[in-house]
Amino acid sequence: MRGVTWLLGLVAFALAGCPATVQPRPEDGPTTVDALLPILDSYLSSGPQSIYLEARASQYSDSGALKGKLEILLDRTRGFRMSGLTPTDDVVSTIASNTERFGAFERGRTVCYTGPACPANVARFASIPMAPTDLAGVLMGRPPVKRTAEGAVALDWDGVAGAWALRVLEGDLEQTVWLTVKDPRVIRTRVIRAGRLVADVRYSDFKRVTGSALPQRIDMKLAREDTDLRIDVREFDTEVELGDEAFAFGCPVGVTVEELPCD
pLDDT at 5: 44
pLDDT at 10: 37
Name 243's Cβ contacts closer than 8 Å, sequence gap at least 6: none
What is the mean predicted confidence (pLDDT) over 244-256?
92
Mean pLDDT of the chain: 87
CATH architecture of 2-11+29-259: Clam (2.50)
Query: Does 173 have pLDDT greater than 90?
Result: no
Q: Flag whether the pTM goes above 0.75.
A: yes
Q: How confident is the model at residue 148 (pLDDT cuts 50, 70, 90)?
A: low
Residue-wise burial string across 167-199, b where 16 or more C-beta atoms lie within 10 A, e elsewhere: bbeeeeebbbbbbbbeebbbbbbbbbbeeeebb
pLDDT digits (tens, 9 = 90+) for 5-50: 444 333 233 333 456 689 889 888 898 988 999 999 999 999 999 9
The secondary structure of residue 31, as a DSSP letter, is: -
Q: Within 13 Å and on the Cβ side, how many CA atoms surround 145?
A: 29
What is the mean predicted confidence (pLDDT) over 71-90?
92
> Domain residue spans in the chain?
2-11+29-259
Quote the longest CA-to-CA distance of the chain. 65
pLDDT at 152: 74
pLDDT digits (tens, 9 = 90+) for 183-207: 999 999 999 999 999 999 999 999 9
Reference 232, options 212, 203, 254; nearest CA is 203
